[in-house]
Amino acid sequence: MESPKPLESNLISKLTKLATKKRIEFWDIRVASSSGTLLEFTNGKNKEVSYSNIKGAGIRAFINGGWGFSVKQNISDSSIIEGLNEAIKLALFAERYSKFKFKIKEYDLIRDKYTTKLKTPLKDVDIEQKIDFALQIEKDAHDFDPRVINTNSLYTDGIINSLLINSFGSSIEQSISILRIFSIVYAKENGNLQRNFESIGGIGGYELTKKADKIGIKSAKKAIKLLSAKPVKGGKFTVIMDPKLTGVFIHEAFGHACEADLVIAKESILEEKLGEKVASENISIIDDPTPSDMALFGSYKFDDEGIAAKPVQLVENGVLKTYLHDLESASRMNVSPNGHGRASSYSSKPQARMGVTYLKEHDWKLNEMIEDTKNGVLCENWKYGYTNPATGNFQFKTRNCYKIENGEKTELMRDVGLSGLILEILNRVSAIGNKIEYSDGVCGKGGQRVRNCTGGPYLRVEDVVMGGLQ
């Protein structure tokens, strides 16, 4: 697949001239071309074997508080010029009626190239080999136990080649290679039907499939285990979250409220809380899209506004230190952008988003936490979670949990929902585990889905409301 060619300097000077003439204060252009494979099988049969090829350009123009955005799928010079003209027209219209006037602050230009570091390029692997791999996941899951009644396996990979230029003079070329694998298993016994979902994902080449080697077995094993789980009884409990749940909890319940665009829009309960204590003293929360191997599913070197990503300390020892910024929110709050302006693709506008968000580890071992708990539950993994950032109400569905009675793990339970109020619950953390684990996911906001990672250790929280069916 071809990468978008760097724009010729005379095209760039044409665009600059056009924007200057119309008093445009900031503009940027993201051109991308991507290709990908999707393999989906169910009960060992072909559901979809597909190949895609998409290209286009997203063009933004800004003037005095008003944004215009135009999406073109033709990436010829003339189409890009037309796109900028449209974006300018739309920005001038928005500016005329916008009540809030502000400027986009200029920052140092970046001229760079970034290519995913990988061992086995996706294109070097035959489609037949990818199919065999996904069918093996199907077989592993199906053969695990006769109680498995339906299996669904997905393999998806893709390469996104992109070019970003903006009116500060930045020019960033990137080639990102991504891969994701899912195994969904349904098991049934005496009318009781349970579902389990496992996924792995990362930034890299075909070598990432090694991480998913036994994913079908793992997924089936958990589904079978859920058959013996009992529905939970509602009430208030001490809860120990496993690393997967801690990660997604931090992401949903806290991370979204840190997104500066929501803060500006007055839709976050963390508004005016900078420098204040928002969590127990030992809590530190960081978003770092630049882990050392750059292979976590949420990692990136540059955000979609051409700002270099770096570790951002959101909470330090319980105190809120900063928000996650895109270019606009940083300008409006008079701070430096911190590399969190992200878009799902060229056809969407960047928003303030998370990358790799995690809660820092401390000193408890899991067995110590359990032994130290009289009456509680140990919750493992999650199905989904959400938060209302304006009221702070959150809710998480965990896959399963174990009762803890007098320091011992006992009965297995399912369909557990945890809920609470963000600012209350982070102040009720009573133990933090000593080892972080990460998991991958895709996060939705404003209709856009971006790749993400969440992480954390085992975490114990007091007085959590658990909803159940009884």
Partner 1 sequence: MITKNNFPKENNVLFNRGKFGLRITEKYDKVKCSEIYVQKTDAFEIGLEKNSIKDCNKSESCGFSVRVFDKRGSLGFAYANDISSKIIEKTINNAVKMMKVGPPNDEFKDLPFPKKSNSKVTGIYDKNIKDLEFETPFDLIKDMIKISSDDSQVVTQSGDFSSLYTYYYVFNSNGIEISSKETAASLTSSIVVKNNGKNETGNGFHWQIERKYKDLDAIKVVNKTLQMAKMNLNRIKIETMNVPLILTPKGVISLILNPIASAINADTFQYNRSFLVGKLNKKIGSDLLNIEDNGLINGAVGSSEFDAEGVPCQNKKIFENGVFLSLLHNSFTAGKDNVESTGNAQRNSFSSTPNIGSTNLYFNPGDYKTQELFEDIKIGILLDYTGDSPNLATGDFSGLILNGNIIRNGEIQESLNETMVGINILDLFNRIEKVSNKLEVYGSKNAPYVKISNVQISGSK
> What backbone torsions phi and psi does residue 308 show, to the nearest 5 degrees?
-70, 135
Nearer to partner 1, 70 or 299 (CB): 70
Write down the least CB distance from residue 265 to partner 1, Å. 5
Beta-bridge mates of residue 37: 51, 157
First to last CA, the chain: 56
Q: Which stretches does DSSP call E strand in 204-277?
A: 230-231, 235-241
Residue 88, exposed/middle/buried by CB under 10 A (0-12, 13-18, 19+)?
buried
Nearer to partner 1, 419 or 430 (CB): 419
Nearer to partner 1, 142 or 301 (CB): 142
Question: From CA 391, how far away is CA 420, in angstroms rounded?
Answer: 11
Question: From CA 130, how far away is CA 151, in angstroms rounded?
Answer: 18
The two three-digit tokens of residue 189, written as one number: 């016994």
Write down the least CB distance from residue 321 to partner 1, Å. 24
Nearer to partner 1, 39 or 356 (CB): 39
The total of other beta-carbon atoms located within 10 Å of residue 321's CB is 16
Nearer to partner 1, 162 or 171 (CB): 162
Write down the least CB distance from residue 379 to partner 1, Å. 14
The two three-digit tokens of residue 110, written as one number: 């970046």
Nearer to partner 1, 262 or 308 (CB): 262
Write down the least CB distance from residue 349 to partner 1, Å. 7
Write down the least CB distance from residue 31 to partner 1, Å. 13
Write down the least CB distance from residue 123 to partner 1, Å. 13
Nearer to partner 1, 146 or 231 (CB): 231
Name the one residue in this structure whose structure tokens are 């760079």: 112
Write down the least CB distance from residue 317 to partner 1, Å. 25
Q: Are 161 and 121 in contact (CB under 8 A)?
A: no
The two three-digit tokens of residue 407, written as one number: 């320091």
Question: From CA 343, how far away is CA 345, in angstroms rounded?
Answer: 5
Name the one residue in this structure whose structure tokens are 């500060």: 168
Question: From CA 300, how far away is CA 174, in angstroms rounded?
Answer: 10
Nearer to partner 1, 229 or 240 (CB): 229
Q: What is the three-class DSSP state of 147?
A: coil
Write down the least CB distance from residue 82 to partner 1, Å. 10
Instruction: Residue 417: name the closest of 279, 280, 220, 239 by CA.
Output: 239
Nearer to partner 1, 85 or 284 (CB): 85
Q: Are 349 and 343 in contact (CB under 8 A)?
A: yes
Nearer to partner 1, 192 or 317 (CB): 192
Write down the least CB distance from residue 416 to partner 1, Å. 8
The half-sphere exposure of 123 on its side-chain side, counting CA atoms within 13 A, is: 7
Write down the least CB distance from residue 229 to partner 1, Å. 11
Nearer to partner 1, 48 or 363 (CB): 48
Write down the least CB distance from residue 246 to partner 1, Å. 19
The residues, ordered by sequence, that sit 6+ positions from 429 with a Cβ below 8 Å of its Cβ are: 279, 280, 282, 283, 459, 460, 461, 462
Amino acid (one-letter) located at 307: I
What is the Cα gyration radius of the chain?
Answer: 24
Nearer to partner 1, 69 or 168 (CB): 69
- Crossing angle of helices 127-143 and 215-227, in 10° steps, is 30
Name the one residue in this structure whose structure tokens are 């570091």: 117
Q: Are 444 and 460 in contact (CB under 8 A)?
A: no
Write down the least CB distance from residue 263 to partner 1, Å. 11
Q: Are 419 and 232 in contact (CB under 8 A)?
A: no
